[in-house]
Amino acid sequence: MTDALPDGVERRRFDGAERLATRGEPVYGEPTDREWRAWNPDRSKLGAMLELGMDVGLAGGDEETVLYLGAASGTTVSHVADFAGPTYAVEFAARPTRDLLSAAESRPRLFPLLADARKPETYAHVVEADVDAVVQDVATRGQARVALENRRFLADDGRLLLAVKARSEDVTRDPEDVFADVREELAEGYEILEQERLEPHHADHLGIVARPLEG
Amino acid sequence: MTTTDPANAGWFSEADPDDPESAAEAVRDGSADEPRDWPALAVEAGFADDEDEYYDALKEATTAATRAAVTEREAADDRQLVHAVRAMDDCERTANELAERLAEWGGTVDPDVGTGIDYARELAARDGNGADLPGDGGDRIRSLAERVADLADEAEDLREFVERQTPTVAPNLAALAGPVLAARLISLAGGLEELAKKPSGTVQVLGAEDALFAHLRGHAPSPKHGVIYVHDAVRGTRPEDRGSAARAVAGKLSIAARVDHYSGERKPELDAELEERIETIRARADGDDAATGGEGDD
Ligand SMILES: C[S@@+](CC[C@H](N)C(=O)[O-])C[C@H]1O[C@@H](n2cnc3c(N)ncnc32)[C@H](O)[C@@H]1O
């Protein structure tokens, strides 16, 4: 548990309630207060991880580099680009990527990429090496495999911030069994530092903070 | 450190800093096994004066590349599907019509005449130059049989294409409706976006336009379902509950089409919700069996 937030992320009051917020153009109809906009943890797994006090190891600032996998229409990655430096957003479905393009318009260091996160060689000529964080929210089968495939982008002291959706692996199995399998597979390339269920913000999701193993 | 292997070079090595199009192309078409410190390498290679300038160029290139790729994919994917499913239906219908004609004609000379596509295939596969079909028409009959068999093969290949393609265009709709029915609904609506914008009552009767117009002119009951009739949940429900089943199926398929169009994310919970609705509707039959009677639907 930690109360520390990355630079550029603050708890601020919106309509009387304290909420996470970043500075940037609004993207999904979230409440704003001058240049600040609320970060809704119910619509963002990374937001939920911060809200739950997980130590995600993000410092914030222009020097911090992030690879974001499963950017969808840009809800979360827009907040990331608000507080971090160069942010690479990978999404493979065409339709949400259209909205991602709009969210990226006002953010000069948010780079949208239409690509499949299972094929890192299709974007390794664009995404730089040694990023400080890989944030992954792909909600598709084989989530551990995607994380392992993308370890090559991560700095030795970087962090994997992974949201695992149990139902994407197998709707019929007990989520805890799914999570156990994911953790086991992940251990091929990562050491898990912290993990927490993302309830009440996201049902049957596990948030994981991990660092890459050497070699 | 310079790189000479173009297969493992950064996007900028193929890009002309003054030609945004070449840069976008390099982003889209390039690849590398491993990432490297591209910003530093680009400055070193003289592509940009400093990292800020590099990132500005990267922003422009990734935006242009992604915009072009999205436009292309959107246009390509559901248009392709619409044409493919229409071609599949045309091939099937034509093959069946010709097979009927063939059987009629074949019956005049062939003591072993069969029916339908099977007969066409069997005839096309017979050995010996149509020698076993008497009369001047023998060769023509056999040749026609070959065309019919080819057409039936084409229909099957198209069906496979549709089955493969639909889940990438509309993953939720394909899962709920089955890929072929999903493609047919997209085709009847004129595209995924058009389908996503239709109210579920319209989705329910897509493909039943003739019946619907007859109803509107006042000489027919309103149709309860269009092509969704072939969905197991409709067809497999007893007639008096089919209206409810069709409504439930259309409702869920509309939601699936919207999710596919607006987010593209697969939501397996939709499958379970539809199953539950149908179970509830079918449970009425059990209740009625016990109590006898029961009100019909609509
Ligand atoms: C739960 S949504 C992400 C929501 C987003 N992270 C946010 O909080 O704003 C999952 C996304 O991952 C995308 N996705 C699934 N598999 C993928 C893959 N192999 N490569 C890239 N994106 C993928 C889906 O298209 C979908 O948009």
Residues in chain B: 298
pLDDT score, position B223: 79
Integer Cα distance of B67 and B74 in angstroms: 11
Query: Is-contact B241 B298, C-beta < 8 A?
Result: no
Reported confidence tier of residue B214, pLDDT bands at 50, 70, 90: confident
**A158 in any annotated domain:** yes
pLDDT score, position B77: 82
| Listed ranges A120-124, B189-193, B280-284; the one with the highest mean pLDDT | A120-124
Q: Write the pLDDT tens digit of every residue in A101-139.
A: 999 999 999 999 999 999 999 999 999 999 999 999 998
Integer Cα distance of B128 and B139 in angstroms: 10
Query: Is-contact A9 A20, C-beta < 8 A?
Result: yes
**A157 in any annotated domain:** yes
The DSSP bridge partners found for residue A163 are A207
Q: Write the pLDDT tens digit of every residue in A59-117.
A: 999 999 999 999 999 999 999 999 999 999 999 988 789 899 999 999 999 999 999 99
Q: Is the pLDDT of residue B2 over 50?
A: no
Round the CA-based radius of gyration of chain B to a whole number and report it. 28
Report the pLDDT averaged over residues A166-188. Answer: 94
Q: Is the pLDDT of residue B23 over 50?
A: yes
Domain count, chain A: 1
Tell me which chain A residue has its CA closest to the CA of residue B51.
A86
Q: CB neighbours of B15 closer than 8 A, spacing ≥ 6?
A: B22, B23, B25, B26, B47, B57, B61
Reported confidence tier of residue B19, pLDDT bands at 50, 70, 90: confident
Distance of CA B280 to the CA centre of its chain: 29
Report the pLDDT averaged over residues B129-150. Answer: 82
Tell me which chain A residue has its CA closest to the CA of residue B261.
A95
More confident residue, A20 or B5: A20
Q: Is the pLDDT of residue B297 over 70?
A: no
Report the pLDDT averaged over residues B25-49. Answer: 94
Integer Cα distance of A166 and A170 in angstroms: 7
For residue B45, how many other CB atoms are within 10 A of its CB?
15
pLDDT score, position B293: 47
Backbone CA torsion sign across A103, A106, A109, A115: positive
Q: Which residues of A touch B58 (CB under 8 A)?
A: 111, 126
pLDDT score, position B147: 95
Q: Which residue has the tokens 């899962």?
A: B175
Q: Is the pLDDT of residue B38 over 50?
A: yes
pLDDT score, position B111: 85
Query: Is-contact A166 A199, C-beta < 8 A?
Result: no
> Please, where are the H alpha helices in chain A?
45-51, 75-83, 94-105, 143-149, 166-169, 175-186
More confident residue, B65 or B77: B65
Selected for mutation to probe chain B from A92, A97, A114, A125 (highest B CB count within 10 Å) is A125
Distance of CA B154 to the CA centre of its chain: 16
Integer Cα distance of B295 and A181 in angstroms: 50
- List the domain range (segments joined by +) for residue A178: 41-212
Least trusted range by pLDDT, from A143-157, A169-183, B65-79, B145-159: B65-79
Report the residue among A42, A82, A95, A137 best suited for mutation to probe ligand 1: largest number of ligand atoms under 8 A from its CB: A137
Selected for mutation to probe chain B from A63, A64, A95 (highest B CB count within 10 Å) is A95
Backbone CA torsion sign across A41, A43, A47, A53: positive
ipTM of the complex: 0.95
**Burial grade of B135 (CB within 10 A; 0-12, 13-18, 19 or more):** exposed
Q: Is the pLDDT of residue B242 over 80?
A: yes
Between vectors from CA B267 to CA A188 and to CA A142, what angle results, nearest 5°? Answer: 15
